[in-house]
Amino acid sequence: MASLLFFEPVFKTMIWGGNRMRAAFGYDIPADNTGECWAISAHKNGDCTVAAGEYKGAKLSELWDKHRELFGDLSGDRFPLLLKVIDAKDDLSIQVHPDDDYAKVHENGSLGKTECWYILDCEPDSALVVGHNAKTREELCKLIDEHKFKELIREVPVKKGDFVQIDPGTVHAIKGGVMILETQQNSDITYRVYDYDRLQNGKPRDLHIEQSKAVIKVPGAGTAGDVMSTESVCASGTVTSTPLTAGLHNLVSCKYYTVNKLNVKGSFTLEPSGVFYMASCIEGTGSADGTPIKPGDHFIIPAGYGRLSFSGDMTLIISNPE
């Protein structure tokens, strides 16, 4: 029987990055501006290495190519998902991602990018950019050309435990002070609309105005209603006034992934159903079939693993590909 797969993460320093991952998760981050931890990734820009066990030293992309049975013999030329922790000390650029159809034609066969954010931590009165206010494409292009980004973008307040799905074509930005767990399609295609006129090594980072104008959906999706408070979500994903109980709670199911929040209080048995899962401990401590688990631990539950017994008092985010 295959074992749980733990990985060595890949860290990325960014002009907007911070150092909270060190204290929050005990990560050995490379600098005080570490923006991203690619926790489970087979992408060429950050291919994670198996940390222990039978496959120790192998890259996730190699396991995908040579041991497809670990992933339920899922078809596809690349591992489908990418799991990141993002620590934003400053605002990220205002950006948008293409869908699969646009990326395939314009980005050398790359996948588009659908992503979702679970707010791990944030400062009081934090916000995210989700969506825009333009009513027509003409208005959208005019506001971009005239640099009227304050008028264009829509900001939504967020707090710890909130969850947001970001579909392709949605203008978005993570704002300073927010730390998130991101589950996304395995893609690194980002079109930057505005970067606050910042400089990196003395130069502005590239903008992608034409691509952005082409892929941004009008009218923009995204209102405060799109931010889900996971402290009050029931199993079907509908917001209710009932607080989260122990057990598995669905946050989103889309074409690419399903993401659940698991509250372990004492014990919980996960009965996997064929495909593999990615799991992240975000709070509390416990164990997974005897392996100690703490915040910041991420692992794959491979296909064929069978039932998994969690115990302890902890919260995990668990996702699986569709």
DSSP string, 52-95: SSTTTT-BHHHHHHH-GGGGTT--SSS--EEEEEEEBSSPPPEE
The angle at the Cα of 140, spanning 136 to 146, to the nearest 5 degrees, equals 140
CB 289 within 8 A of CB 4: yes
Active-site pick, 192, 198, 205, 307:
192
* Side chain identity at residue 271, one-letter code: E
Half-sphere exposure of 308 toward its Cβ, with a 13 Å CA cutoff? 26
| Owner of token pair 């709070």 | 283
| Closest C-alpha to 1, from 314, 321, 272, 320 | 272
CA distances 243 to 93, 249, 251, Å, are 34, 11, 14
| Cβ neighbour number for residue 220 with a 10 Å cutoff | 22
Number of H helices, E strands in the chain: 6, 22
CB 179 within 8 A of CB 92: no
DSSP class of residue 191? E
Residues 6+ apart with CB under 8 A from 80: 74, 185, 186, 256, 257, 321
Quote the radius of gyration of the chain (alpha carbons, Å).
Answer: 19
Catalytic (active site) residue 68: no
CB 42 within 8 A of CB 66: no
| Count of positions (residues) in the chain | 322
Active-site residue list? 192
